[in-house]
């Protein structure tokens, strides 16, 4: 900072006086720790070695502190280093400052330990059922002492829990980041139309087009889910969705209804892989609608997640987690 900006106004200057900030008047903790080490060891060289710095660097730091305070602190001689009378007083005061800093550090460490002892995760149904278990097993290896609670719901419910402070990090599927949250894309997913093998669509040579899909009552997730959001957007240009055949609150329930032959459903490819392989469900290709969606980690707008939430975020995708 320039001398002009740090100078106090003299009487007669316009405007109120602004004292130089404390940070410019008080030595930093490193300099105070060095002074305490010199007082304890009686040698600038030994103090430098204890603190892991060179003797010239230690001498320079002491001189800078003396210039800042305007008093001589240390007498140097071939026999060692001895505190001056003002230096002894400054050392007593420095000891209190360092002790207060140590108490501050211990308190922050305790807060961090308390924060890191738990992790509250909110996730939409598909991620909660098919992806999160693997991530949480990996997190357990990194943080065996962190207790994790999982709240599963649709995308709207996940956003609400984060905004209400009931979760530390969330995971959703959909077209964009919910309002009031920040997020990062961690992967991609594709929705697929499925039916039981006995459904007429499974036996047709020509699959239904987007207009027929829009006009057909389907087994659907409830409004507010990422699956419903993507499907609504995909079929908006084709007249929108018909009234649901069934509207259910979980992926498992929708899948079970489709397997039973109740009707066609639209589900994440993650959720139906096993049923397709076993031929309990059949995939119906509808080539003219976009059913790809992003998978996102989300958190309240502001700083990136820290602690266990940051570690979990790092496990969900390749590459480093966001820096704090």
Domains of the chain from N-terminus onward: 3-113 (1.10.10.10), 117-324 (3.40.190.290)
What confidence score (pLDDT) does residue 300 get? 93
pLDDT, averaged in runs of 10, over the chain (324 residues): 44 56 86 91 90 92 91 84 90 89 76 72 92 92 89 92 95 90 93 95 91 95 89 91 93 94 94 94 90 93 90 77 35
Confidence (pLDDT) at 283: 95
Residues contacting 246, CB < 8 A, separation 6+: 219, 220, 254, 257, 262, 263
Phi, psi (degrees; rounded to nearest 5) at 194: -135, 150
Q: Which of 269, 268, 252, 270 is nearest to 260 (CA)?
A: 252
Q: Distance between CA atoms of 11 and 101, rounded to whole angstroms?
A: 37
Classified as helix, coil or strand, 78 is coil
> pTM for this structure?
0.64
pLDDT on residue 217? 96
What pLDDT, on the 0 to 100 scale, is given for residue 1?
Answer: 41
Residue 314 dihedral angles phi and psi, to the nearest 5°? -65, -25
Q: Which helix (H) or strand (E) holds 38?
A: helix 29-41
The tokens describing 317, both together, are: 């995708």
């Amino acid at each position: 900072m320039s001398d002009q900006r740090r100078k106090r106004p003299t009487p007669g200057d316009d405007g109120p006086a602004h004292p130089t900030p404390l940070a410019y008047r008080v030595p930093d903790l490193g300099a105070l720790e060095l002074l305490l080490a010199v007082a304890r060891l009686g040698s600038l060289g030994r103090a430098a070695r204890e603190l892991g710095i060179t003797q010239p660097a230690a001498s320079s730091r002491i001189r800078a502190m003396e210039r800042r305070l305007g008093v001589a602190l240390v007498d140097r001689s071939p026999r060692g280093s001895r505190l001056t009378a003002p230096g002894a007083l400054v050392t007593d005061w420095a000891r209190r400052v360092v002790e207060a800093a140590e108490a501050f550090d211990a308190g922050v460490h305790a807060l961090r330990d308390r924060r890191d002892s738990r992790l509250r995760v909110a996730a939409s149904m598909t991620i909660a059922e098919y992806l999160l278990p693997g991530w949480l097993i990996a997190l357990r290896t990194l943080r065996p002492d962190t207790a994790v609670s999982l709240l599963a719901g649709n995308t709207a419910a996940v956003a609400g829990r984060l905004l209400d402070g009931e979760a530390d990090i969330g995971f959703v599927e959909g077209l964009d980041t919910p309002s009031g949250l920040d997020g990062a894309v961690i992967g991609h997913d594709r929705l697929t139309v499925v039916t039981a093998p006995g459904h007429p669509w499974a036996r047709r040579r020509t699959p239904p087009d987007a207009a027929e899909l829009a006009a057909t009552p389907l087994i659907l997730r409830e409004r507010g889910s990422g699956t419903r959001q993507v499907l609504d957007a995909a079929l908006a240009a084709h007249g929108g969705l018909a009234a649901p055949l069934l509207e259910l609150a979980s992926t498992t329930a929708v899948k079970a209804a489709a397997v039973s032959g109740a009707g066609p459903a639209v589900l994440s490819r993650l959720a139906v892989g096993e049923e397709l392989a076993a031929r309990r469900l059949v995939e119906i290709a509808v080539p003219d609608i976009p059913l790809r969606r992003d998978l996102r980690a989300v958190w309240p707008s502001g700083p990136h997640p820290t602690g266990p939430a940051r570690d979990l975020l790092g496990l969900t995708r390749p590459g480093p987690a966001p820096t704090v």
